[in-house]
């Protein structure tokens, strides 16, 4: 009887040891999973801090679906589908660095972020287009004003021409009057000269 009891106790101890081993294995597995999750979240945080506020979109070539924003499911899906994702880089025209506006390899971008970013780009484009049209219109007006004289300028030019014509006519009249005066002066000089000669002749006779 004591032999059976010892055997039974031994089996119970072995069974307890096995359960403890399995429990330890599960604890180790859970610890590994938590460590892996922390590592992946840390990597995601580092990537986010490096990218700052740049917008990111995930494009799955097989499903064309938007990525889930949940951190754990996003991390696991990104690790399993990296080979199926295509990275697309959109660069600003005035950027000289390699920083991309949209990094499609990051999994933390949502559809709302993309719509908001695109709306901002459209608004900025409309503002630039409006400013360009205003500058273009001003440039066209300036060219027209330089190429064609205004009505006021044409009127002033005509008035100046009329005044010049009047002055020219008056100058001609003055020249004619001056010529007449010269002729009268010459006649008077001749008359005075003749009177002087007559006066000298009379004086000699006396």
Q: List the chain domain ranges.
A: 2-109, 111-147, 149-195
Q: What is the mean pLDDT of the chain?
A: 70
Q: How far is it, in rounded angstroms, from Cα 103 to Cα 109?
A: 9
Q: What is the DSSP string of 163-198?
A: HHHHHHHHHHHHHHHHHHHHHHHHHHHHHHHHHHHH
CB-facing half-sphere around the CA of 108: CA atoms within 13 A: 16
pLDDT tens-digit series, residues 78-131: 555 454 444 444 444 444 445 455 566 666 778 888 888 899 999 999 999 999
Q: What is the DSSP letter of 62?
A: T
Contacts of 108 (CB under 8 A, 6+ apart): 44, 48, 56, 69, 74
Q: How far is CA 155 from each of CA 53, 145, 150, 160, 185, rounded to the nearest angstrom?
A: 63, 16, 9, 9, 45
Q: How far is it, in rounded angstroms, from Cα 68 to Cα 81?
A: 13
Q: Does the pLDDT of residue 56 top 50, yes or no? A: no
Q: How far is it, in rounded angstroms, from Cα 176 to Cα 186?
A: 16
pLDDT band at 12; cut points 50, 70, 90 = low
- Percent of the chain at pLDDT exceeding 90: 17
Q: Which is nearest to 88 in space by CA: 78, 102, 98?
A: 102
Helix axes 2-51, 71-80, angle to 10 degrees: 90
pLDDT of residue 113: 82
pLDDT tens-digit series, residues 121-180: 999 999 999 999 999 999 988 887 776 666 667 778 888 899 999 999 999 999 999 989
Cα–Cα–Cα angle for 17, 19, 23, nearest 5°?
A: 115
Q: Does the pLDDT of residue 27 top 80, yes or no? A: no
pLDDT band at 54; cut points 50, 70, 90 = very low
Q: Does the pLDDT of residue 42 top 80, yes or no? A: no
Phi-psi region of 11 (alpha: psi -120 to 50; beta: other; left: phi over 0): alpha
CB 70 within 8 A of CB 110: no
């Amino acid at each position: 009887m004591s032999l059976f009891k010892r055997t039974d106790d031994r089996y119970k101890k072995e069974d307890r040891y096995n359960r403890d081993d399995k429990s330890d294995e599960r604890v180790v597995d859970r610890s590994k999973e938590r460590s892996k999750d922390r590592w992946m979240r840390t990597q995601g945080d580092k990537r986010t801090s490096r990218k700052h506020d740049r917008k990111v979109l995930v494009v799955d070539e097989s499903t064309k679906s938007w990525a889930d924003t949940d951190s754990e499911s996003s991390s696991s899906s990104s690790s399993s589908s990296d080979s199926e994702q295509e990275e697309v880089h959109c660069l600003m025209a005035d950027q000289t660095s390699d920083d991309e506006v949209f990094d499609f390899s990051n999994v933390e971008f949502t559809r709302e972020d993309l719509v908001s970013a695109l709306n901002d780009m459209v608004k900025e484009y409309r503002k630039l287009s409006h400013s360009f049209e205003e500058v273009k219109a001003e440039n066209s007006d300036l060219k027209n004003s330089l190429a064609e004289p205004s009505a006021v300028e044409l009127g002033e030019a005509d008035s100046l021409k009329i005044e010049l014509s009047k002055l020219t006519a008056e100058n001609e009249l003055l020249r004619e009057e001056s010529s007449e005066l010269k002729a009268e002066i010459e006649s008077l000089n001749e008359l005075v000269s003749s009177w002087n000669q007559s006066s000298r002749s009379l004086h000699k006779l006396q």
